[in-house]
Structure 1
Amino acid sequence: MTAESSPDSSPADSPSPRRTRLTPERAAELYEAVIDLLCEVGYESLTMDAVAARTRSSKATLYRQWKGKPQLVASALRHHKPIKVADIDTGTLRGDLLALSAVADPARLEQDMALMRGLGHAVACNPDLNRALREELIEPEMAEMRRLLQRAVDRGELDPATPALEFVAHMMIGAVVTRPLIEDRPADPDYLTRFINAVLLPALGM
């Protein structure tokens, strides 16, 4: 039996496909509990029962809102992001990229990196979690990043034929991930500002 064929993720646990609307405050409380549990026990040991107990809700309620553990975890991670690309529009590409880097709190980054390291094995071994993360987190953010870059093209800041254009997200994520590995230091706003000015913008011909 795989992790996602366990009772925590079986559709049979869901009494009804109908979803009742949660208040933003209640949803935030549930997401916070999921993040806390991920930090405490990891993905494999996190259960819907534990989330229900931590938040004093019923497991049936959780299944009405999310199909199972992968979808709940992916939604919690998306909500946990300190800022969404869709919220950024400063009027210039440089301003947009700097605004994204300005929220890189070192303590928060360390927690996020620990979360991603803990999820790494589960993502590799669990296609349901992999798919949920792509649908809930990766693909929406990549679509917003493409819109951010397209605005720069429309303003005439950026040549649409620039070869590095398709690698902007890769470069930003790479900067966040590799500094702790190479320097044993978090990718704080000062570091990311220098990276954007010295590497990313020149690669885009700016």
Structure 2
Amino acid sequence: MSTSTEPAVTMPRSRRSRLTPEREGELYEAVVDLLAEVGYDSLTMDAVAARTHSSKATLYRQWKSKPQLVVTALRRTKPVCLQDINTGSLRGDLREMVLLGGEGRRPEKDAALMRGLAHAAHENPDLQQALRELLILPEIAALDVLLKRAVDRGEIAPDCPAMSYLPHMMCGAFVARPLIDDAPADPDYLLTYVDAVVLPALGA
């Protein structure tokens, strides 16, 4: 059972930000770095305030809770925005997603961070809610748009049963590769995975 004393997450955030985009970006980067260093359970709003030279009152005014701040930071520091990908083919879209996602990233560090966050979410309902509402559901919606374009182009049958499992297939690669092969799910592996597993499953 979680020992976190942070206030419950309240979403969505409707208050207009008082921080500049540059300052928000710096703060998000600092939160992700701190998360990788100490893990979710040991990350505190006091530590974030000290690392970013902010007041704790400012952090709570902007993000309401630790779960909301952490998940928003993860979303805003993602290397790729799925909504911006449209290469004209399903294979091109998936490859672009992999290649952009790998730019400047450290797969081992990212995988360890996400595993730790997933474990923390099992014990922290507020974190789990924030992950779903701020990170997972928007990603699924963007993948649905990507798949709809593929259906409209005739690349996938409209009743293809594997479409609803695309998020599971992509997440599964990140989780399974380190466990089975003791290696990170780097771009080379993921590109092969897309061609060997994802596209055949979709019938593309």
TM-score between the two structures when normalised by the length of structure 1:
0.89
Superposition map of 1:8-157 within 5 A: 8-9=6-7, 19-102=16-99, 103-104=101-102, 108-157=106-155
Q: Determine if contact 2:34/2:43 at 8 Å carries over to the other structure.
A: yes
- SS of equivalent to 2:102: coil
Cα deviation 1:85-110 (Å, max 9, x = unaligned) = 11211111110000111133595221
Counterpart amino acid of 1:67? Answer: K
Over 3 Å counting, the alpha-carbon distance change for 1:94 and 1:3 in structure 2 is: same
- SS of equivalent to 1:63: helix
Q: Within the alignment, does 1:162 sit opposite 2:160 as a pair? A: yes
Instruction: Give the structure 1 partner of residue 175 of structure 2.
Output: 177
Q: Which runs of 5+ in 1 are unaligned?
A: 12-16
Shift of 1:176: 2.0
Shift of 1:29: 1.0
Count of equivalent residues = 199
Cα deviation 1:172-197 (Å, max 9, x = unaligned) = 11122211111111122222111111
Equivalents in 2 of 1:33, 1:171: separation in Å? 30
Equivalents in 1 of 2:154, 2:115: separation in Å? 39
Equivalents in 1 of 2:29, 2:131: separation in Å? 17
Counterpart amino acid of 2:193? Answer: F
Q: Determine if contact 1:106/1:187 at 8 Å carries over to the other structure.
A: no
Q: Determine if contact 2:163/2:202 at 8 Å carries over to the other structure.
A: yes
Instruction: Give the structure 2 partner of residue 14 of structure 1.
Output: none
Q: Which runs of 5+ in 2 are unaligned?
A: none
Q: Within the alignment, does 1:188 sit opposite 2:181 as a pair? A: no
Equivalents in 2 of 1:73, 1:101: separation in Å? 23
Counterpart amino acid of 2:203? Answer: G
TM-score between the two structures when normalised by the length of structure 2:
0.89
Counterpart amino acid of 1:127? Answer: P
Q: Determine if contact 1:105/1:189 at 8 Å carries over to the other structure.
A: no
Equivalents in 2 of 1:59, 1:126: separation in Å? 21
Identity of paired residues, percent? 62
